[in-house]
Structure 1
């Protein structure tokens, strides 16, 4: 999953994530969203923690 998201951030994560604010909208197919969320939300929690991102699913 990270390998698929990484190309969206060609410069990588900044040393101080708090200084960088941007917004991205990524469309995920309905049949794949479970892979992003994971069982009990575990995978999305890992992504949020590792990236420091505020991720919203609508």
Structure 2
């Protein structure tokens, strides 16, 4: 976990795992051959995305 403290406030990044979302919905009008170079998709056209929530205290 990474932490950042500013004054009395502390932000902590938590590990939220990975979720899979539809690549076409994420990139809209960008053609699939372009975005699959950076984000390869599975057989369901889904790309893996990290979900790292931030805890603010």
Q: What TM-score do the two structures reach when normalised by structure 1?
A: 0.24
Name the structure where helix makes up a greater proportion of residues. 1
Name the structure where strand makes up a greater proportion of residues. 2
Q: What TM-score do the two structures reach when normalised by structure 2?
A: 0.25
Higher relative CO (Cα under 8 Å, sequence separation at least 6) belongs to: 2
Specify the structure having the higher radius of gyration (Cα): 2
